[in-house]
Amino acid sequence: MPVVQNVGALDSNTEYSPARENVAAITRAALLLGLSVRQVTSQGEAMIIAFRSGRQCADVECFEDGDALAVTYNQNGEPRCWDVSLDDDGIKDTLRKIQRYISQS
């Protein structure tokens, strides 16, 4: 599974971006927890961190307004979505939920 190679590049931009700042914090925390980041993409007003293991998928979407949303999904069930609290504990809680979910593959 690919991992973001240069997490520092996410927050090295001189222009302030709440989405970029939150993606960098979440990605660093994921790597510290041993959770592989599959991909980071930018889409309109959001940046998306993708996680995947087998058929289990999860995304964290960070928006330019400073909000973040997480979703877990697979081909067989309804997606589960929740707001992400962007303090350290909230980020770790979200990443642990994602880690548990994708380990079910």
Q: CATH no. for residue 55?
A: 3.90.1150
Interval 2-57: pLDDT, tens: 444 444 445 454 477 899 999 999 999 999 999 999 999 998 889 999 999 999 99
**Domain of residue 80, residue span:** 7-102
Show Cβ contacts of residue 21 under 8 Å, excluding neighbours closer than 6 positions.
11
| Three-class DSSP category at 2 | coil
Amino acid of residue 71? V
Q: Within 10 Å of residue 7's Cβ, how many Cβ atoms? A: 18
**Prediction pTM value:** 0.84
Total domain count, the chain: 1
Q: What is the pLDDT of residue 4?
A: 47
Residue 2, in any domain of the structure? no
39: β partners: 50
What band does 105 get if pLDDT is binned at 50, 70 and 90? low
Q: What is the pLDDT of residue 7?
A: 47
Residue 34, in any domain of the structure? yes
Q: What is the pLDDT of residue 66?
A: 96
Residue 65 parent element (H or E)? none
Residue 1, in any domain of the structure? no
Residue 47, in any domain of the structure? yes
Residue 19, in any domain of the structure? yes
DSSP 27-73: HHHHHHTTPPP-EEEEETTEEEEEEEETTEEEEEEEETTS-EEEEEE
